[in-house]
């Protein structure tokens, strides 16, 4: 059985061109919107400000692997499950660098982190998720 692209009405000759033109118009709108976004967005290549960079009590062992542990908490605290995770990483033999993009790190958290981390960094929450 043969099928035809023609519509039964009298506009059958123009029907096959309607959909490709709509696709082209949609593509042009996408390019226009993307160009506008790229020209007007803020530059994200600027590096985030490092607010604090402290050495931990753990001396780095250069034969061990390094773990860059990125953390964020809206309440500016380090939760107990994070400490448990860090302790397990230390037992597994990692040198841990703790990077927080929270607004601050309290002195109590800083002291507790120093016991299992080689370095503690508090940076501005800027850029992509793993820009740390």
Residue 31 belongs to a domain: no
Residues 67-82 have a mean pLDDT of: 92
Domain that holds residue 83: 50-123
84-130 confidence digits (pLDDT tens): 999 999 999 999 999 998 889 999 999 999 999 999 999 888 766 65
Residue 114 belongs to a domain: yes
CB 73 within 8 A of CB 109: no
| More confidently predicted of 36 and 67 | 67
Residue 87 belongs to a domain: yes
Cα 44-50-51 angle, rounded to 5 deg: 130
| β pairing state of 95-100 and 119-123 | parallel
Number of domains composing the chain: 1
For residue 20, the model assigns a pLDDT of 77
Residue 45 belongs to a domain: no
């Amino acid at each position: 059985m043969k099928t035809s692209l023609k519509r039964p009405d009298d506009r059958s000759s123009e029907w096959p061109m309607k959909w490709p033109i709509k696709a082209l118009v949609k593509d042009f709108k996408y390019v226009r919107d993307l160009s506008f976004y790229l020209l007007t967005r803020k530059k994200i290549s600027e590096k985030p400000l490092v607010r604090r960079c402290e050495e931990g009590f753990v001396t780095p062992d250069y034969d061990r692997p390094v773990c860059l542990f990125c953390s964020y908490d809206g309440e500016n605290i380090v939760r107990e499950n994070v400490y448990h995770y860090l302790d397990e990483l230390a037992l597994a033999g990692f040198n841990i660098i703790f990077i927080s993009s929270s607004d601050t790190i309290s002195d109590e958290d800083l002291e507790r982190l120093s016991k299992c981390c080689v370095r503690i960094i508090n940076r501005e929450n800027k850029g992509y998720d793993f820009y740390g």
